[in-house]
């Protein structure tokens, strides 16, 4: 939850062109909901991940170079750099069958 307070001033200190885009995703019964999310290219992206399960998960992506543990029933924000258009896979490192895709366009 403390990361939410950091994300807002970070976004407001930048120009419109660099302002971060936000996407939200949940994990329930070890499935990402939705399993595919879209975000604009060439802008930093703030991914809000809500873990609705009773077990911790680790949001991880090799192509995005991020990983973040999110406790059971908790939420976290994963910030990624501005990206070129493409499809970026992510998964729960604690339950690797739990997979999703970030579509940047
Ligand atoms: Cu990991």
Task: Convert the pLDDT of each residue in 74-97 to its tens digit.
Answer: 999 999 999 999 999 999 999 999
CA of 83 to the centre of ligand 1 (A): 21
Return residues with CB closer than 5 A to ligand 1 (ion). Answer: 58, 60, 67, 93
Which tokens belong to 13?
């200190």
d(CA 105, CA 91): 20
- With bands split at pLDDT 50, 70 and 90, how would you rate the model's confidence at 17? low
Distance 38 CA to ligand 1 centre (A): 23
Can you give the pLDDT at residue 15?
Answer: 52
Q: 67: number of CA atoms within 13 Å, CB side?
A: 9
| CA 94–ligand 1 middle distance (angstroms) | 8
- Give whole-number Cα distances, 84 to 40, 44, 50, 52, 53, in Å: 9, 11, 25, 30, 32
DSSP string, 38-67: EE-TTS-EEEEEEE-SSS-EEEEETTTTEE
CA of 12 to the centre of ligand 1 (A): 30
Predicted local confidence at residue 18, as pLDDT:
72
- What does R_g of the chain's alpha carbons equal in angstroms? 13
Q: Ligand 1 center to residue 46 CA distance, Å?
A: 19
Distance from residue 99's CA to the centre of ligand 1 (Å)? 13
Model pLDDT, residue 83? 97
What pTM does this model have? Answer: 0.81
């Amino acid at each position: 939850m403390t990361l939410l307070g950091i994300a807002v001033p970070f976004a407001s200190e930048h120009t419109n062109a660099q302002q971060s885009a936000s996407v939200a995703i949940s994990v329930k019964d070890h499935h990402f909901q939705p399993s595919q999310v879209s975000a604009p290219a060439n802008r930093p992206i703030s991914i809000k991940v809500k873990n609705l399960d009773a077990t911790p998960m680790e949001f991880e992506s090799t192509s995005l170079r991020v990983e973040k543990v999110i406790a059971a029933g908790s939420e976290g924000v994963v910030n990624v750099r501005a990206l070129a258009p493409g499809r970026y896979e992510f998964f729960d490192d604690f339950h690797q069958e739990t997979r999703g895709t970030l579509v940047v366009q």
